[in-house]
């Protein structure tokens, strides 16, 4: 009987987590789509909704940073904060280092940009060679 109750409890927990995961997936998909079509403010809302549901979702921070950066100049500093958070949550996130490099370059932090591109390359990002040539 105890085993059955435990199985029912675990099943309930699993079932109750599914809607949240589906919401996160839907917000991410919608946000990426909106960002691709230039609706950056709406994309930021979707990624913020993901973060509200899962504060450790590095993908949401990364994508929100991309959307904010597209709103430059006003979004560049906010983008930097989100790239930093994505990297904090996933220290081997090559794409976040790569894009943060462009953000830092835009904000006139050339050393920071070059360090980020170097790190992205060390993490396996394949198209950093041109950016690193710019740094030397």
DSSP characters over 57-77: -HHHHHHHHHHHHHTTTTTHH
Contact 103, 116 (CB under 8 A): no
User: Residue 17's pLDDT is what?
Assistant: 55
User: Residue 56's pLDDT is what?
Assistant: 98
User: Residue 132's pLDDT is what?
Assistant: 85
CATH 1.25.40 fits 9-82, yes or no: yes
State the span(s) of the chain assigned CATH 1.25.40. 9-82
The pair of three-digit structure tokens given for residue 89, joined into one six-digit string? 């949550």
Any idea what the Cα angle at residue 126 is, between residues 120 and 128, rounded to 5°?
60
User: Residue 11's pLDDT is what?
Assistant: 44
Mean pLDDT per 10-residue segment, the chain (136 residues): 40 59 97 98 98 98 98 95 98 98 97 96 92 84
Whole-model pTM: value is 0.85
């Amino acid at each position: 009987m105890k085993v059955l109750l435990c199985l029912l409890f675990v099943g309930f927990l699993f079932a109750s987590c599914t809607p949240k995961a589906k919401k996160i997936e839907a917000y991410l998909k919608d946000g990426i789509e909106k960002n691709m079509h230039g609706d950056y403010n709406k994309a930021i809302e979707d990624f913020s909704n993901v973060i509200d549901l899962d504060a450790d979702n590095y993908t949401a921070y990364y994508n929100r940073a991309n959307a904010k950066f597209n709103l430059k100049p006003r979004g560049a500093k906010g983008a930097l904060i989100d790239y930093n958070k994505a990297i904090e949550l996933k220290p081997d996130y090559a794409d976040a280092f790569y894009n943060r490099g462009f953000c830092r370059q835009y904000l006139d932090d050339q050393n920071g940009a070059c360090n980020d591109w170097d790190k992205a390359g060390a993490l396996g990002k394949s198209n950093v060679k041109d950016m690193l040539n710019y740094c030397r």
